[in-house]
Amino acid sequence: MLSSIGKVAVVGPGKMAMALVRGWLASGFPADNLVLVHPSPSERTREFAEDVGLRLTGELAKGEVDFIMLAVKPAMMIEVMQGLKGKITPETVVFSVAAGISLTRMQGTLGTGRVIRTMPNTPSQVGKGVTGVVPGPGVSDEDCEAVDALLSASGLVVWLDDESLIDALTSLSGSGPAYVFHMVEAMAAAGVAQGLPEEAAMALARQTVIGAAGLMEADPSDAGTLRENVTSPKGVTYEALKILMDKETGMTPLLTRAMSAAKKRSKELGE
């Protein structure tokens, strides 16, 4: 599929974008069909482009590519889109991987309805991510299939019909890795409180989460079943879960409050 997509430009080749680019190339995407766009790229990006034979430019020619991935920071997005407006044609599909940039804003700034909004998370950098995607009104099924193939190089792709759900998705999968990282910090700190050396506690916490994630990936059982498999009636884990699963003070109400705050902020950034 990747080899038949056409030409793709990546505007703003940062960590996330370059991880995708590496995934595309590894999956057989022709280097000749890929363009990196940045007015002042890093030396690392220059070296990578030279090593694999990618064109690196500060500006696209009009109609040069079929797809444009916008991977610049949200604060720069409007300025970048304004600069691209004269470079796209009615056939160009533009998809954004920046938070807070609505389809309406993309359409209005770029002057086209062939836009797609996406929200990847940081594990996409290692091919273990999840990306939420909302298509604009002017994209075809073929366009969606092409973008799905591109984004799938970084992990799972979830399509949404309603853009209003993107803020909820951002609060779950977009911000979610930070929640897990903090849980590792909290588990390590709790281990130290129980008498473990700090270095050992962190190593145990990190590998426990890595192992649990690997087990979840390998076992198709739902999370509740996997939890029950670890929990002996009236055992050690059972006692801990009584606290963690408390209906008023446990993890579910805590994460609900946290994600509500994240969703609110995501919505504010998009206004």
pLDDT at res. 101: 84
120 lies in some domain:
yes
Domain housing 180: 176-269
Q: Is the domain of 120 the same as that of 210?
A: no
Confidence check: pLDDT of 23 > 90: no
Confidence check: pLDDT of 34 > 80: yes
Q: How far apart are CA 66 and CA 152, in angstroms?
A: 18
List pLDDT tens digits, range 165-214. 999 999 999 999 999 999 999 999 999 999 999 999 999 999 999 999 99
Confidence check: pLDDT of 3 > 70: no
Q: How far apart are CA 123 and CA 98, in angstroms?
A: 15
What average pLDDT does the chain have? 92
Confidence check: pLDDT of 271 > 80: no
Q: Is the domain of 139 the same as that of 37?
A: yes
Confidence check: pLDDT of 133 > 80: yes
pTM reported for the whole predicted model = 0.88
CATH code, domain with 239: 1.10.3730.10
Q: Is the domain of 134 the same as that of 259?
A: no
The sign of the torsion formed by the CA atoms of 72, 30, 66, 173 equals negative
- Indicate the pLDDT class of residue 65, thresholds 50, 70 and 90: very high
107 lies in some domain:
yes
Measured in degrees and rounded to the nearest 5, phi and psi for residue 69 equal: -100, 120
171 lies in some domain:
no
Beta strand residue intervals within 58-166, DSSP E: 67-70, 93-96, 115-120, 129-135, 155-159
* In contact, 176 and 121? CB cutoff 8 Å: yes
Q: Of all residues in the chain, what percent carry a pLDDT higher than 70?
A: 99
Q: Is the domain of 131 the same as that of 185?
A: no
Q: What angle do CA 141, 143, 146 make, to 5 degrees?
A: 110
* Strands, sheet with 67-70, edge to edge from the N-terminal-most edge strand: 55-57, 34-37, 8-11, 67-70, 93-96, 115-120, 129-135, 155-159
Q: Of all residues in the chain, what percent carry a pLDDT higher than 90?
A: 70
Average pLDDT over residues 133-143: 94
16 lies in some domain:
yes
68 lies in some domain:
yes
